Amino acid sequence: MKSLTEHLWFNTKNRIEFINMTDKVEYIVKKSDVKEGLVLVNAMHITSSVYINDAESGLINDFQKWLKELVPMGEDYQHNFTGEDNAYAHLMRTVMGREVVVAISNGKLDFGPWEQIYYGEFDGKRKKRVMVKVIGE
C-alpha cells in the first residue's frame, strides 16, 4: 500500500472565508501515484472546517449568512469569558465539519456532480493547516 501525507497552509485576509481547495488536493493525489484508494482532508484547527459542496458563489454567500444567523458572532458565549472572542468560530466549525474522505478511482477524485472540496475559515487572519493523507494502491 502507498501513502502520502502533505499539509496545506492557509492565512486568510478575512475572519470568515471559504476557499476552494480541490485543485490542491487533486495535485497531491496525482503526486501520490495512488490509483485506487482514499484521501482524507482534515482541518487541523478547531476554528476551521473542511467540507464538500458546490462551487457556486451564491451558495458561499448563503453559507455565510446562514452560519451568522445560526451562530451570531456578538453573543456572550461562556468561552469568550476566558479572554477569547471566537466561541462562534468553534460552533461554526462543529456545524460545518472537521474533515472529508473522498474515494480515488483511476487516480482521480471520484466526485458526484458539482462536488468540490472547501476550506472554511471562521477565525482567520492567521496561519492554519490542513492535512491531506492519501492511502491506497
Number of domains in the chain: 1
Interhelix angle 57-70/87-96, rounded to 10 degrees, is 130
Q: Which three cell numbers stand for residue 127?
A: 496561519
- Domain with 69 in it: 2-136
Question: DSSP 3-state assignment of 59?
Answer: helix
Question: DSSP 3-state assignment of 19?
Answer: strand
* Predicted TM-score of the model (pTM): 0.95
Q: Identify the CA nearest to 59 among candidates 115, 122, 123.
A: 115
- Mean pLDDT over 69-90 rounds to 94
Tell me the CATH number at 125.
2.60.120.460
Spatial contact of 34 and 134, defined as CB atoms under 8 Å apart: yes
pLDDT of residue 74: 86
Tell me phi and psi for residue 23, to 5 degrees.
Answer: -60, -35
- For residue range 45-72, what is the model confidence (pLDDT) as tens digits? 999 999 999 999 999 999 999 999 999 9
